Amino acid sequence: MTFVSFRRRPGRRNALLVAAGLTLAATAAPQFAHPVAGAVQTGPANAAPVLSGTVRSDKEGVMEGVVVTARSRNSLVMVAVTSDAQGRFVFPSDRLAPGTYQITARAVGYTLAPVTVKIGGARPAALPLTLATVTDNDQLASQLTSLEWLNSFPGTDAQKDVMMRNMVNCAFCHSLERIARSDHDETSFLSVMQRMLTYETDHSSADRIQVAWPAQPTEGLRWFGRDAKQIASWLATVNLSGGRQRWAYPLKTLPRPVGEATKAVVTVFTIPRESGVIHDLDVDSHGNVWYGNTGWDYIGKLDPKTGRFSEWPAPNFLPPTSAPGTDRIVGVQDIQVDGHDNVWVAVGGTKHARFNPATARWQTFDLPVIWRNPFLGPVRPGETGLWATGLGAAPDGNKRHEQAFRLDIETGQVSKGITLFDDMPDPVDPTHLDPLNYCYMMDQDLNGDFLCTAPEPSGIVRADLRTGKARLIPTPTPLAYPRRGYRDMENRFWFGEFYADKIGVIDLNTDVVREFPVGVKWISPYYARPDAKGRVWVSTTGSDRLLRLDPKTGDIVQYLMPVSYDARKVVVDVRAARTTVWLPNKNANQLVRVEIPD
């Protein structure tokens, strides 16, 4: 068995710009093989069990909704299933190769003594599990998700909103457990908040990344537009400051999965390169998973059938031998696979780049913007337009406005910019017209015309390439803060409403927006992705739960993941034999596959 380590390099920011149309050769980094537990896909969807058992406790008897995880010693892969109403869990034979596995269980309020099991005999292994009730409050605290901590904190909804209803909140990069266990008083919290505001959020979980922004004074400090002193004062009442040895409030937990939420096989693939920050991923026509790494200047590929990872340097990559102080950008954020299995990434702030896996070569394309949103619009099979947004020159040639540009991926031609936010006011301050109005996640309708989520004005922006006109369709819930989403084949765009705790959809034929409440406050729906059966899969923040919406009934299923996860994207592998959803686990350097029996 081979273990791979990587030498760290100090993060040096700024751009290495590549001339438009220049083709670059990208030498592939070595491929890294790991044990294939959870990687093989040779069995049928209803493969016979290779390991099964029951979960029970003295307190509850048989237990539903316990996430049971199997991991071979030193493997980079773990496989998890969930116990049903009879307490029974089943691992299918096509997900665990012969070997010895360590078994763990996730059920808040319970623990499992160390368990190992050997798989590979003539009969399926049977494993009864007995969980012990947690009696120590400190041990229970270590099991809570950020959402459970927030529910436990004393305080008003308004106080919790101030901390959580931000584009970037504390739970994006770490658990709120850190706040709860700290002993900071108000003054200390202000210093921490000052420091945290200097970090680049999508890179900060890679510990090699340097501070990106200058520090601000603590006096009069603003936390995303709010008075930081008020937030710091409240946080000092929920932690262990003032010599407190334990929390003076009960710890509240979320319900375990039930019913449909127990019917999933979850495989977690840990990426060999250390300190990765996996913001986005996509799946090609062969089922390979491509990901961008904002912790390093690489793109990577996982072949789930073999469990093999491969990596290639991005166009903004400079080798470790580069002279100190050489300018470069750290990391690759969004990534999209087009209908020809080419891989697209955002580079530098003014370019798109295309990687051809067959030749391992890059080609870059200039965009006429001075700053650009780091996301890419999807390019489905048969589509040729790749949209981008950024600040471009206004028609009067003076003030710059947010504009949309279409790159034709077949010809390399870039369209004339469409001004998106000319006179659209800021919903908080109607006298302010710019620059809070901006596009976030982009897509295109069935005609190839532009659309995007606009978080600050809380709506969907649509723009017609032929007329050059743009319009904003507001969400029914004010300040819902639409985040990221995806258009289905019925010309409907689905998206997460981050502040409203709802899932939104706009019918692009009528501009009518409909909303579906999730029913859990502060679960923060982020990315919504429809599957081929009409269901919608939604990532959340701070709850470790993947949501599935049935639009016909409005029912929500909550799948509890075996690991703490933060997924900025959801991808459905439409070619898989069973419903298969992929998540990038941003802060844990993992790719997560969720399979549902159909």
Mean pLDDT for 456-480 is 95
Residue 53 sits in a domain whose CATH number is 2.60.40.1120
Q: What whole-number distance in Å separates Cα of residue 532 and Cα of residue 546?
A: 18
What b/e sequence results for 407-427 when a residue is b if at least 16 CB atoms lie within 10 Å of its CB, and e otherwise? bebeeeebbebbbbbeebbeb
CB proximity list for 80: less than 8 A, separation 6 or greater: 67, 68, 69, 70, 106, 265, 266, 267, 268, 561, 562
Residue 241 located in a structural domain:
no
Side-chain half-sphere exposure of 81, counting CA atoms within 13 A: 22
Higher pLDDT, 552 or 402: 552
Residue 213 located in a structural domain:
yes
For residues 117 and 156, membership in a common domain is answered with no
Of 150-154, 199-203, 436-440, the range with the highest mean pLDDT is 150-154
334-382 pLDDT tens trace = 899 999 999 999 876 678 899 999 999 999 898 887 766 778 889 999 9
Residue 406 located in a structural domain:
yes
> Residues 52, 57, 62, 64: is their CA dihedral positive or negative?
negative
> Where does a domain end: 432, 453, 474?
474
98-112 pLDDT tens trace = 999 999 999 999 999
CA proximity to 354, closest of 403, 431, 432, 410: 410
For residues 152 and 57, membership in a common domain is answered with no
Residue 317: the pLDDT is: 55
For residues 165 and 74, membership in a common domain is answered with no
Band (170; pLDDT cuts 50, 70, 90): confident
Q: Do the beta carbons of residue 39 and residue 96 sit within 8 Å?
A: no
For residues 231 and 151, membership in a common domain is answered with yes
CA proximity to 581, closest of 266, 261, 260: 266
For residues 114 and 154, membership in a common domain is answered with no
The neighbouring-strand residues paired with 545 are: 560
Residue 389 located in a structural domain:
yes
CA proximity to 56, closest of 45, 69, 65, 46: 65
For residues 188 and 217, membership in a common domain is answered with yes
For residues 120 and 188, membership in a common domain is answered with no
Count of structural domains within the chain: 3
| Domain residue limits at 121 | 49-134
Band (402; pLDDT cuts 50, 70, 90): confident
Q: What whole-number distance in Å separates Cα of residue 235 and Cα of residue 315?
A: 43
Beta strands in 188-342 (DSSP E): 222-223, 226-227, 265-270, 278-283, 289-293, 298-303, 308-313, 335-337
Beta-carbon count within 10 A of 8 CB: 13
Does 15 have pLDDT greater than 60? Answer: no
Residue 310 located in a structural domain:
no
For residues 160 and 127, membership in a common domain is answered with no
Residue 125 located in a structural domain:
yes
CA proximity to 131, closest of 119, 155, 115: 115
Residue 544 located in a structural domain:
no
User: Residue 187: what are its φ and ψ, rounded to 5°?
Assistant: -65, -45
For residues 462 and 381, membership in a common domain is answered with yes
Side-chain half-sphere exposure of 284, counting CA atoms within 13 A: 21
> Where does a domain end: 194, 217, 235?
235
Least confident of 57-61, 365-369, 553-557: 365-369
Residue 3: the pLDDT is: 26
In terms of DSSP bridges, do strands 125-133 and 49-57 run parallel, antiparallel, or are they unpaired? parallel
For residues 93 and 159, membership in a common domain is answered with no
Side-chain half-sphere exposure of 173, counting CA atoms within 13 A: 18
Q: What are the C-alpha distances in Å from 382 to residues 339, 410, 446, 447, 531?
A: 6, 11, 11, 12, 18
For residues 387 and 467, membership in a common domain is answered with yes
What 3-state class would DSSP assign to 189? helix
Residue 349: the pLDDT is: 63
For residues 149 and 123, membership in a common domain is answered with no
Beta-carbon count within 10 A of 266 CB: 26
Residue 189 located in a structural domain:
yes
Residue with tokens 């986005």: 280
Question: Running DSSP on this structure, what letter comes out for residue 304?
Answer: T
